[in-house]
Amino acid sequence: MSLPIATQRFVKGTLLLLIAAYAGDYVWFRVRLIHPKPADPLESFTVPRILAIPENSGKTGYEIDQQNPEQTFTCVHSVFPHGGFAPCWYVRPRISRPIPM
């Protein structure tokens, strides 16, 4: 079963647009990697490692991990992940979440 020509063009155009956006983001990441500034393109930060411990009363208690009290995250300032690092816009909201036990 064949898709209509307009649908095929839309799908191809969307794929080309996504490929071009990723390629442009990657080139811009590499340029900034060659000429780095503080916290650009990579940023590292340390946050406390918080554990969410369920209690018998149905509530949740929060404690800082005694064995590994701090976690270091490195993220990349870009739209897409590059160099094995997730984008900062994705990492920042998730670092403050406690780790469920």
Range of the domain at 84: 5-100
The predicted-structure confidence for 16-25, as pLDDT tens digits, reads as follows 999 999 999 9
d(C-alpha 72, C-alpha 64), whole Å: 15
- Per residue in 41-84, pLDDT (tens digit) is 999 989 999 999 998 988 888 889 889 899 999 999 999 999 99
**Can you give the pLDDT at residue 11?**
93
CB neighbour list of residue 34: distance below 8 Å, 6 or more residues apart: none
Domains in the chain: how many in total?
1
- The pTM (predicted TM-score) of the whole model is 0.75
